[in-house]
Amino acid sequence: MELVKQNFSIKDLEHLSGIKAHTIRIWEKRYNVLSPDRTSTNIRTYDSTSLQKILNIAFLNEHGYKISRISKLNDEEISRMVKRISASSSRENRAINALKLAMINFDEQLFHNTYERLMESKSFNEIFEEVFLPLLQEIGTLWQTDTIKPIHEHYIVELIKQKLYINLGELKKKEVKQNPEHVFVLFLPENEIHDIGILYIDYLLLLNNKSTIYLGPNLPIENLSYLLERNSNISFISYFTIAPQDIKSFIDEFQEKICSVRSSELFLFGQRAKSVEEIKFPENIKFQHSIKEFVQKL
Contact 159, 32 (CB under 8 A): no
Residues 201, 274 within the same domain:
yes
Greater model confidence, 173 or 110: 110
Half-sphere exposure of 145 (CA within 13 A, CB side): 15
Runs of H (alpha helix) within the chain: 10-17, 21-31, 48-62, 67-70, 75-84, 88-104, 108-119, 124-127, 133-144, 150-173, 196-207, 225-228, 247-254, 271-274, 291-297
Encode pLDDT of 17-68 as tens digits: 888 899 999 999 999 999 888 888 888 899 878 888 888 888 788 878 899 9
Residues 186, 281 within the same domain:
yes
Residues 57, 18 within the same domain:
yes
Residues 180, 276 within the same domain:
yes
Q: Residue 277 has what pLDDT?
A: 63
Contact 129, 160 (CB under 8 A): no
Encode pLDDT of 208-245 as tens digits: 989 899 999 999 999 998 898 888 889 999 999 888 88
- Give the global pTM: 0.71
> Domain of 19: which CATH number?
1.10.1660.10
Give the whole-angstrom CA distance, residue 267 versus residue 286.
5
Query: Domain range holding 115?
Result: 86-174
Instruction: Indicate if the alpha-carbon torsion angle 112, 16, 93, 131 is positive or negative.
Output: negative
Residues 52, 135 within the same domain:
no
Residues 205, 227 within the same domain:
yes
Half-sphere exposure of 178 (CA within 13 A, CB side): 18
How many domains is the chain partitioned into structurally? 3
> Domain of 260: which CATH number?
3.40.50.280
> Domain of 107: which CATH number?
1.10.1240.10
Phi and psi angles of residue 211, each rounded to the nearest 5 degrees, phi first: -85, 130
Q: Tell me how crowded residue 82 is: count the other CB atoms within 10 A of its CB.
A: 19
Q: Residue 161 has what pLDDT?
A: 96
Greater model confidence, 113 or 62: 113
Residues 194, 291 within the same domain:
yes
Give the whole-angstrom CA distance, residue 82 versus residue 70.
11
Residues 58, 116 within the same domain:
no
Of 174, 197, 218, which residue is a domain's last?
174
Average pLDDT over residues 132-138: 89
Of 174, 204, 220, which residue is a domain's last?
174
Residues 182, 221 within the same domain:
yes
Secondary structure element (H or E) that encloses residue 214, with its range: strand 211-216
Residues 70, 143 within the same domain:
no
Q: Residue 179 has what pLDDT?
A: 59
Instruction: Indicate if the alpha-carbon torsion angle 40, 33, 117, 163 is positive or negative.
Output: negative
Residues 213, 266 within the same domain:
yes
**Residue 183 — pLDDT band, cuts 50, 70, 90?**
very high
Of 174, 194, 223, which residue is a domain's last?
174
Give the whole-angstrom CA distance, residue 60 versus residue 87.
12
Residues 191, 266 within the same domain:
yes
Phi and psi angles of residue 177, each rounded to the nearest 5 degrees, phi first: -85, 95
